[in-house]
Amino acid sequence: MIKLVVGLGNPGRQYEKTRHNAGFLFVDYLARECGVAFTEVARFFGEVAECKVASEKLLLLKPATFMNRSGQSVGALLKYYKLQPEQLLVVHDELDFNPGVVKLKKDGGHAGHNGLRDIIAHLGTKDFYRLRLGIGRPPAGKAVAEFVLSAPSRQESDLLDAAIKTGLDFVPQLAAGEIDAVMNRINA
């Protein structure tokens, strides 16, 4: 049963519409669907919202620590609410999938994603769920950092929105604990 949804991204207007902020975009859409707003909470080093989905309380988090230090924020919130890593869903951009692709997985490495790397380091485990939103790979000659910190094309943005909407459709099942069913459908 998922109790906390963390969207990964970087704070600040200059990063708002970048590929790397796909996770922030996801939790912003979810908060809007729930009719709730984020509030800055210093002890969690980020913005937090609380909503009800499928009759379950769901916490939403946008770390304000920048991507590379996301674990500080996630770890603080998990500890405060006494949540287990397997109750955590981290939503992030995924280079290995084309724009529009969305997949759910548990465990695994960080695959070079610095936000995931820091969360794994802070929690001391890989035992949490990840909703991976495809952004594709940079074109030849363009550095990965430059690519993820730039805005997607209009077509890529539309595909990312579609992937987010697909992921949002499964949030009630994730909150209700139907994780295997979601994995079977979303990864098919």
Domains assigned to the chain: 4-186 (3.40.50.1470)
pLDDT at res. 188? 83
Kindly name the residue from 20, 92, 113, 122 that is annotated as catalytic: 20
Burial of 167-180, coded b for 16+ CB within 10 Å and e otherwise, reads: bbebbebbbbebbe
> What does the mean pLDDT of the chain come to?
94
pLDDT at res. 110? 72
Cα separation of 38 and 48, whole Å? 5
Q: What pLDDT, in 10s, does the model give residues 26-48?
A: 999 999 999 999 999 999 999 99
Q: What pLDDT, in 10s, does the model give residues 107-155?
A: 877 777 789 999 999 999 999 999 999 999 998 888 999 999 999 999 9
- 113 as an active site residue: the answer is no
